Structure 1
Amino acid sequence: MKNSISLIAIISLLIFISLPTPSLSQRCNKNDENVLFQIKKSLGNPYLLASWQTTLDCCQWYLVKCNKTTGRIIELTIFSGNISGQIPPEVGNLPYLQTLVFRKLTNLTGQIPSTITKLTHLTMLRLSWTNLSGPVPSFLSQLTNLNFLDLSFNNLTGSVPPELAKLTKLGALHLDRNKLTGTIPESFGTFTENVPDLYLSHNQLTGDIPKSLGYLNFTVIDFSRNQLTGDFSMFFGINKTIQIADFSRNSFQFDLSDVVFPASLTSLDLNHNKVFGSLPETLTGLSLQYLNVSYNRLCDLQTFENTSYFHNRCLCGSPLPACA
């Protein structure tokens, strides 16, 4: 009896081994595959998506990535192709998506669809280098798992939504190279868990930087090429860890003399403002890789190339021309 059971077990094992291995066509989740076909159709069946065919498992399609265990689509990265139209609202029907990218698609137009809010697992959203227009939607604050949000190099207008401060896991926020107006939200001084690298350059933002931002410890700040005014010294101090700071080409106007720059600072650009006073002694001991304070109203020099100091009212002496 015992030998019979063993023989049956061996035969069963041999039969199992001899069965054909499931093909890759059985891996892809069919619901996700149907959604991808809808997206392809909405975009006009572009050549960039030529691999999206029924003859090939959707986990093997170009610009798509699946979870190896479940076969669910977790990444959709559409970039650098001849694609026209708008972001298909069907993207919201890929419930396990973690990364969504539409990038370097100059014929992509329209607004950011609200269906994106259904992507509760999304950690990266990158919609950049397109011709997207309309506002930066406040509904993006519902994507609470985001750690990277990039809406740069578009034609977005309107104000910066204060609700974005609810994205507590953000490591970086890119709203640069748009046509945004209004002020920097006071709420941006209330980020918790993470303090994101903040890129707001090349917009039309106005007003003073809210003092609340000084309560946080930023690593990278780029507010260059706006119409901002007032004082930005709240980002610096002996206990701060800021590394890169660009406030160039604004209308900042304050006395720089007593600002304490932290040892972490590696790059400082404040050219083309109305900053006055002298360069603080704390700049002397720093290992700065880049410094530009040109076109301000400063006095006193540190040892950097003369291009760093051009057009300040009373700066003279090496490396600039001798004082009169």
Structure 2
Amino acid sequence: MMEINRFIKLLSVLMFVLSLCMKLNSVSAAEVRSVERERLSLLKFKHDLVDANGLLSYWGSEEDKIAQFNADGVLSSWGSEEDKKECCKWEGVSCSNGTGHVTSLNLVFHSLKAKLSPSLVDLQHLNYLNLRANDFGGSEIPRFIGSFKNLRYLTLMGSNFSGEVPCELGNLTNLNTLDLSYNNLRIKNFDCLYHLSSLSHLELNGVNLINQTSWLHHMTRFPLLEELHLIGCQLPNPVLSFDIFTNSSLSKLSSLFLPNNYLTSSSTFRWMFNISASLKFIDLTNNQLEGPIPDSFGELFFLEDLVLSYNKLRGGIPSSLHNLHTLEISSNELNGLLPDNTTFSSLSGLYLGNNKLNAFHTQCLGQPLVLRHLDLSNNQLKRLPEGIEKLSNLSSLGMSSNLLEDTITESHLSNFANLEDLDLSWNSDLTFNLSSDWIPPFQLNSLTLSHCHLGPHFPNWIQTQNTLRWLDSSFAGISDAMPNGLWNMSIDQLDLSHNNIRGKIPNLSSKSTGYFNIDLSYNNISGPIPSFLFHSEEIDLSKNMFSGSIFHLCTIPKGSMIYKLDLSDNQLAGELPNCWMNISGLIVLDLANNKFSGKIPLTLGTLDRLKVLHLRGNNFIGELPSTLRNCNGLRTLDVGGNKLTGIEKLPNLNDLDMSSNLLEDTITESYLSNFANLEYLDLSLNSDLTFNLRSDWIPPFQLRLLLLSNCHVGPHFPNWIQTQKTLVFLYISFAGISDAIPNWLWNMSSLSWLDLSHNNITEISRHSLDSAMLDANK
């Protein structure tokens, strides 16, 4: 009997275990099916995308191209192939370790051109969704996002959504972070977001709230809010009511960002000091605040950083702000000093640029001296602040655009062991008197001394700055040779323009990198241009004495990012290289006033981003290359002062100068009718150029300048000129006109300069046009 009982008990246990396993298997199967739906949902989402980081052209249909984009782009890990079936390993996808459900979708900064597929509704376990910096084509935010009840983090910042923010977002009651910034959105009804009571971080930057006078009242409905960003929302002054202050639930609010709105002092300061006692950071940049800075900021006991720049605040800085760490009041109308009875011993950053300060003292900054950043630029200071050399912890010092009359000596700078950025530019009476063997205690990142008396010798101490990335010593009175050691430094931005620097630049063949920006214009530098300078992005070597050819441009790797190349007013010679396709990003090319010769190369037509082309004052021959028609962005073309014999139709031009050439064409309506955007036209000093235009022809453009001197324009006065209502300059001398001046010419109200000299004009009606030149006529 005992054996039977044992058998029954054992059988019961086995049946229980078997039942439990069946249930677990059932749950597991359900989970597997659920996860499979999520995988298929993501694949459907991918199918609706165009991955802009993929390759840009393929053979085949549009669907094939899109598939290839995705396969080779950032979503290449997403797929149905055997080695890609585990969606939890896809880029941007995270899953729960326990259940395998997709819990996070993070596609930030992937430049995806997309639409949000409704298939995403299957991702019901999502708690994190970040689609920042993609492109959803101006579509509305889909309402189904409100079905993600587990969502805690949602950001759609800068993703090209438009329209109204859907009320369905109010269903996301677990949401902690919501960022809808920098789209084209508006909120019509704040009430539908009332249930987002878990929000701690809200960013609505750029969302249109222009008529929402109750916006502050709505914000108080989010009791856990810690950060609020409403930048550029066109916020009006809120309508204040007693219950805003008595029922305020923003006890946790610590950071408040309200720049670029329409807030005024009378309203803003009233509610701000009552809305939360926990504020640590306040930014009210670029509003309509005026008057003195209120002492009541001192009542915000935890306040550390205050930004009030770009307003109309006057007076001085109240002593109540002595506990701040950072104070920014740039671009206001401050004219008062820091209070001398208060010690601002906690300040690490003080930014007072672009005000009306005529004096500043450092005594009130207190001990120990923790100040690291001091900006007093663009004020009316005539003297360096007394005691400034004691601010030994300074990392950045800006005093540009003042009226400083001091002489900088080693005693001013020798205590700044931590200095990284120094800007004393645009102080034309500021002089430097530093010994040639002085070695500073600091290592700078940036040094800006433009428009100071730095010369005549090049400062040797600059070569001791091994970390220097930005050097601007333009207009500094330097009349010395450039030290060779300068070219071995790690500088990215170099501006030594408008000095009298002489000598040659060494050809450092081992230097494979150039500069982001190099400007050596208006000096006396001679010799050939070393090839390493062409590895820069913006190059200005104009107004020097460089010589030789520029054929080493062809040694630049294809795809090099040169945006601006200005070599004008030098002594460069020879033919132009025919390898311009290597620098296809070029926007500005200026080779004017050199000694270049030969034909203009065809490969200039590969520069499809080119906007400005100056080739004036050389010895180019032949015709303009037809390939320039490919430069659809070209707006300015100046090839005057050469030996060109033919013209070309370039329809997008604003400015065309082909003066002083050997043009032999006949200008007809069919040629000029191409220039719908033309504003400046100079075809003067081409004695074999003839105009044959109908008297009733109406041009498609509105010129401001027209120069046709020394061309065959006559015998009749060009009637089409009367259609140019914006014309300011009109020069048609030596043009073979033997006609009477029409009365409409004197009624052109915009015309300021007129030259009709050396024609055979038969009748002149004397009107008051002071600058008219009519001599040598009949």
Which interval holds the TM-score relative to the shorter structure?
0.7 to 0.9
Return the match for 2:233 from 199, 203, 206.
Answer: 203
Aligned to 1:226: 261
The one-letter code matched in structure 2 to 1:265 is: L
Aligned to 2:308: 270
The one-letter code matched in structure 2 to 1:79 is: V
Aligned to 2:165: 136
What is the CA deviation profile of residues 30-63 of structure 1, one whole-angstrom value per residue up to 9, with x for unaligned ones? 1111211211122255333222222221122111
Distance 2:158 2:49 in 1: 17
Following superposition, the deviation at residue 164 of structure 1 comes to 3.2
Distance 2:275 2:211 in 1: 31
Matches within 5 A, 1:1-324: 29-44=35-50, 45=67, 46=70, 47-54=73-80, 55=82, 56-106=85-135, 108-159=137-188, 161-183=190-212, 184-192=215-223, 194-208=224-238, 210=240, 212=244, 215=248, 216-217=250-251, 218-229=253-264, 230-233=266-269, 234-236=271-273, 240-253=277-290, 256-261=293-298, 262-275=300-313, 279-284=317-322, 286-292=323-329, 294-296=331-333, 299-301=336-338, 307-308=351-352, 310-311=354-355, 316-319=358-361, 321=381
Q: 1:49 to 1:239 in 2, by over 3 A?
A: closer
The one-letter code matched in structure 1 to 2:77 is: S
The one-letter code matched in structure 1 to 2:257 is: D
Following superposition, the deviation at residue 228 of structure 1 comes to 2.2
105-114 vs 275-284, greater mean Cα deviation:
275-284
131-140 vs 271-280, greater mean Cα deviation:
271-280
What is the CA deviation profile of residues 168-196 of structure 1, one whole-angstrom value per residue up to 9, with x for unaligned ones? 1111101114454323342212322x123
Q: 1:110 to 1:298 in 2, by over 3 A?
A: farther
Distance 2:131 2:275 in 1: 41
Alignment check: 8 A CA contact 2:127 2:152 kept:
yes
Alignment check: 8 A CA contact 1:253 1:273 kept:
yes
Aligned to 1:12: none
SS class of match (1:97): coil
Following superposition, the deviation at residue 226 of structure 1 comes to 1.4
Q: 1:309 to 1:103 in 2, by over 3 A?
A: closer
Alignment check: 8 A CA contact 1:235 1:242 kept:
no
Following superposition, the deviation at residue 242 of structure 1 comes to 0.9
SS class of match (1:236): helix
Distance 2:106 2:41 in 1: 15
Q: 1:88 to 1:185 in 2, by over 3 A?
A: farther
Greater relative contact order (CA < 8 Å, ≥ 6 in sequence): 1
Aligned to 1:11: none
SS class of match (2:107): strand
Distance 1:40 1:271 in 2: 44
Following superposition, the deviation at residue 113 of structure 1 comes to 0.3
SS class of match (1:130): coil
SS class of match (1:290): strand
Following superposition, the deviation at residue 68 of structure 1 comes to 1.4
Following superposition, the deviation at residue 240 of structure 1 comes to 1.6
Following superposition, the deviation at residue 134 of structure 1 comes to 1.3
Q: 1:69 to 1:272 in 2, by over 3 A?
A: same
Distance 2:274 2:78 in 1: 54
Alignment check: 8 A CA contact 2:331 2:355 kept:
yes
Following superposition, the deviation at residue 213 of structure 1 comes to 6.9
SS class of match (2:328): strand
Alignment check: 8 A CA contact 1:66 1:73 kept:
yes
SS class of match (2:174): coil
Q: 1:317 to 1:164 in 2, by over 3 A?
A: farther
Following superposition, the deviation at residue 71 of structure 1 comes to 1.4
Distance 2:337 2:192 in 1: 42
45-54 vs 252-261, greater mean Cα deviation:
252-261
The one-letter code matched in structure 2 to 1:311 is: N
Structure with the higher strand share, 1 or 2? 1
Distance 1:248 1:154 in 2: 21
**Structure 2: unaligned runs, 5 residues or longer:** 11-27, 51-66, 362-379, 383-778
Following superposition, the deviation at residue 100 of structure 1 comes to 0.9
**Structure 1: unaligned runs, 5 residues or longer:** 6-21
Distance 2:109 2:225 in 1: 31
SS class of match (2:74): helix
Alignment check: 8 A CA contact 2:314 2:335 kept:
yes
Following superposition, the deviation at residue 112 of structure 1 comes to 0.7
Distance 1:260 1:82 in 2: 42
133-142 vs 153-162, greater mean Cα deviation:
153-162
> How many residues were matched structurally?
300
Percent identity over paired residues: 25
Aligned to 1:8: none
The one-letter code matched in structure 1 to 2:282 is: A
Q: 1:65 to 1:126 in 2, by over 3 A?
A: same
Alignment check: 8 A CA contact 1:112 1:137 kept:
yes
Alignment check: 8 A CA contact 1:272 1:296 kept:
no
Following superposition, the deviation at residue 256 of structure 1 comes to 3.4
The one-letter code matched in structure 2 to 1:221 is: L
Aligned to 1:9: none
Alignment check: 8 A CA contact 1:254 1:276 kept:
yes
Alignment check: 8 A CA contact 2:175 2:196 kept:
yes
The one-letter code matched in structure 1 to 2:87 is: C
Following superposition, the deviation at residue 102 of structure 1 comes to 0.6
Distance 1:256 1:35 in 2: 56
SS class of match (1:125): strand
Alignment check: 8 A CA contact 1:28 1:71 kept:
no
The one-letter code matched in structure 2 to 1:256 is: I
Distance 1:246 1:204 in 2: 15
159-168 vs 96-105, greater mean Cα deviation:
159-168
45-54 vs 265-274, greater mean Cα deviation:
45-54
Following superposition, the deviation at residue 276 of structure 1 comes to 5.1
The one-letter code matched in structure 1 to 2:267 is: D
Distance 1:106 1:275 in 2: 40
